[in-house]
Amino acid sequence: MKAKAKVLSAVCHRADLLILDEPTSGLDVIARDQILELLREYIAEDENRAILISSHISADLEHLCDDFYMISGGRILCHEDTDRLLSDYALIKVSPQDYEDIDRAGVLRRRREAFGWTLLTDQKRFYAENYPRLVIERITMDEFILMMLKGEVL
């Protein structure tokens, strides 16, 4: 209830910019959904409004944010349109042989796995069209963050 009260207090001022730090942290699923719906409605009321959210709950960001910034150690590691991130980025699972055979120009990061490699790409369509037998998975924000922080840069 305290978290909801804080967000309600922030939106009642009708400011053009809200800066929220972990607004859904520690909430159950229903309370999180209510807060996120309140924020979506707040933005929808006026196209000049914006919300800057710092959050470790990446699933919240998938459905709320237009732009995604990833900051680590005070540096911006990534800035991407959220819709593009969720539509064009993917994880590709490859064997060691497939890894040697594919065009790696569109691979942003890689992570060693028992079966071979997991690759992060922002060229999902290219790999789907040119390598139809590869396993290409839709990416989530959590997986994207893990690959960006723990994946090896080529």
- Residue 27 sits in a domain of what CATH number? 3.40.50.300
pLDDT digits (tens, 9 = 90+) for 97-136: 999 999 999 999 999 999 999 999 999 999 999 999 999 9
Angle between helices 29-45 and 2-11 (to 10 degrees): 0
Torsion of the alpha carbons at 147, 148, 153 and 154, rounded to the nearest 10:
60
Domain that holds residue 42: 2-65
Residue 57 has a pLDDT of 86
Structure tokens at 148: 């960006």
Cα dihedral: 66, 71, 74, 75 (round 10): -90
Residues 34 and 89 in one domain: no
Residues 135, 92, single domain; the answer is: yes
Q: What is the pLDDT of residue 94?
A: 98
Contact criterion met (CB below 8 Å) for 49 and 25: no
pLDDT surpassing 80 at residue 2: no
The residue-averaged pLDDT of 76-86 equals: 94
Is 52 inside any structural domain? yes
Any domain includes 71: no
Q: In this structure, are 94 and 149 located in the same domain?
A: yes
pLDDT for the residue 72:
86
**The total number of structural domains that make up the chain:** 2
pTM given for the model: 0.82
What value does the mean pLDDT take over residues 61-72?
A: 87
Q: Residue 125's pLDDT is what?
A: 97
65-74 mean pLDDT: 90
Q: Which of 65, 96, 111 is the last residue of a domain?
A: 65
Instruction: Provide the phi-psi class of 145: left if phi over 0, else alpha when psi is between -120 and 50, else beta.
Output: alpha
Query: Is the per-residue pLDDT at 51 higher than 80?
Result: yes
User: SS3 of 23, please?
Assistant: coil
CA–CA distance from 42 to each of 5, 18, 50, 54, 74 (Å)?
15, 10, 9, 17, 29
Residue 121: predicted pLDDT: 98
